[in-house]
Structure 1
């Protein structure tokens, strides 16, 4: 699976960050949730932190943007991201970039060899690859929007 990570999904609202995690970092050994009830149950079971479906709904929709620290710790543990991912400063943006990059290695088929090859490219070659990735992501988002 290839992850397209629009800037706003990892650097803007807490809701966008949580939604991105649910869509892209759901643990492989757990079935993806069909609704907020299933999401809350899976997170609660894995972390032993009581998390209600209402809390998950509020966080995903932006109706709550200042959760308790214990909720952030549970989300951090469940999705395997540093708690700093949930912040809204420059450090959080850098953390979000690292989270997105780590999501690509291994699980998506993008391996270390491909990353090393990318590093070895010239600046122009890396820019060409970056442009291609951005174009492919836009195409994918358009296709998903048409399917709705």
Structure 2
């Protein structure tokens, strides 16, 4: 008999289904937001599997990755999640912690922003602008907008 403090009886599978859906949603968010720097496209399951194996982490097959993303594998091992977390440079708790949808989105957007800063030129500009006043930053933004326009690039969407 369950204790009064147990939120669900032990045979209730809702918790497992909710966690599986959470893992699937968060893994898909990582795949959708992180681009392969070699191709500029989303990572393939094969590439993720290969990099994990080459890194010496617990191997994860492309089919396991696909099944976890689709929900067919609704109970991935912690070792599988750990390897995927290492690949995407997140803590394994990213998959397991209770977060709101807004918090999840914030994590994924932050990771995407970090990927953008991998470009040495972008990083250099960011570091050089670090201690500028708000007026100085507006001048730099205006100059960057003019350079983008001269190079036929659209204005970036939104703020960082």
Please, what TM-score do these two structures have when normalized by structure 2? 0.49
The change in CA–CA distance for 1:100 and 1:65 in structure 2 (over 3 A counts) is: farther
Q: Counterparts of 2:55 and 2:41 in 1: how far apart (Å)?
A: 14
| C-alpha RMSD over aligned residues | 4.0
**Equivalent residue in structure 2 for 1:19, among 12, 18, 28:** 28
* TM-superposed deviation, 1:71: 0.8
* TM-superposed deviation, 1:36: 2.7
* TM-superposed deviation, 1:74: 0.6
Q: Deviations over 1:36-76 (max 9, x none)?
A: 33332222223432111221111111112321111111111
Gaps of 5+ in 1: 1-11, 118-131, 134-148
* TM-superposed deviation, 1:88: 5.2
**Equivalent residue in structure 2 for 1:45, among 39, 43, 54:** 54
Structure with the bigger RCO (C-alpha within 8 Å, sep 6+) is 1
Q: Which residue of 1 aligns with 2:4?
A: none
Gaps of 5+ in 2: 1-20, 135-156
Q: Counterparts of 2:107 and 2:28 in 1: how far apart (Å)?
A: 17
Where do 1:95-106 residues align within 5 Å? 97-105=106-114, 106=117
**Equivalent residue in structure 2 for 1:64, among 73, 87, 91:** 73
The structure having more radius of gyration, on CA atoms, is 2
Q: Counterparts of 1:56 and 1:45 in 2: how far apart (Å)?
A: 16
Please, what TM-score do these two structures have when normalized by structure 1? 0.52
Q: Is the 8 A contact 1:26 1:32 kept in 2?
A: yes
Q: Is the 8 A contact 2:24 2:69 kept in 1?
A: yes
* Richer in helix (by share): 1
Is residue 73 of structure 1 aligned with residue 85 of structure 2?
no
Q: Which residue of 1 aligns with 2:63?
A: 54
